[in-house]
């Protein structure tokens, strides 16, 4: 069994810039910069033969290259029960087009359709028991975050192993976007 997800890998410079936001919020589990990515579709646990079907379906996806700009900081959930802190992606039709194509490909490979609406973001931290006041202050202090646009030329199929020290993401296959 493999635990899979499809994502956009972020350039090192952007991950380091996002890593600079990992301050001022005690008691959270910060995502390591090397694990930061923008998830297009979480797949979950699949058998090896289904993973091969997913790989074949993703290899057939055709979508253009585009620029991605990350901006703004927010949370999933209300401040008292927030689950994560994230940086959002600016409005981007090409990103939405790619995500829809990836979702269709994965569904055709036999994976249940995604129930949640796509919300393009990069997770910065996972939360448990963080002060709502501190969390709201952090979001306000970082709301104006804006990174320069970066070129996106591929998307990646990752496997994810959950360990005591956090998730380890391994690229399994890369799929180029069209010129």
Residues with a catalytic annotation lie at: 37, 121
Q: How far apart are CA 160 and CA 131, in angstroms?
A: 30
Residue 27 falls in which region: left (phi positive, over 0), alpha (psi -120 to 50) or beta: left
Residue pair 2/98 in contact (Cβ under 8 Å)? The answer is no
Residue pair 177/30 in contact (Cβ under 8 Å)? The answer is no
Torsion over CA of 170, 127, 100 and 149, rounded to 10 degrees? Answer: -80
Task: Retrieve residue 75's tokens.
Answer: 């949370």
Q: How far apart are CA 119 and CA 96, in angstroms?
A: 10
Task: Retrieve residue 128's tokens.
Answer: 């448990």
Task: Retrieve residue 100's tokens.
Answer: 């829809």
Q: How far apart are CA 111 and CA 6, in angstroms?
A: 13
């Amino acid at each position: 069994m493999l635990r899979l997800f499809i994502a956009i890998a972020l350039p090192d410079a952007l991950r380091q810039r996002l890593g600079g936001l990992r301050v001022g919020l005690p008691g959270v589990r910060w995502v390591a910069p090397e694990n930061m990515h923008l998830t297009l579709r979480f797949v979950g646990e699949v058998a090896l033969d289904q993973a091969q079907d997913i790989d074949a379906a993703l290899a057939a996806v055709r979508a253009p290259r585009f620029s991605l700009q990350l901006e703004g900081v927010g949370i999933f959930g209300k401040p008292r029960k927030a689950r994560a802190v994230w940086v959002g992606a600016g409005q981007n039709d090409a990103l939405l087009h790619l995500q829809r194509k990836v979702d269709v490909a994965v569904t055709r490979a036999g994976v249940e359709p995604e129930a949640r609406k796509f919300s393009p973001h990069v997770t910065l931290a996972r939360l448990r028991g963080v002060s709502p006041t501190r969390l709201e202050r952090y979001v306000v202090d970082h709301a104006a975050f804006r990174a320069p646009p970066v070129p996106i030329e591929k998307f990646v199929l990752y496997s994810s192993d959950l360990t005591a020290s956090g998730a380890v993401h391994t690229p399994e296959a890369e799929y180029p976007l069209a010129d």
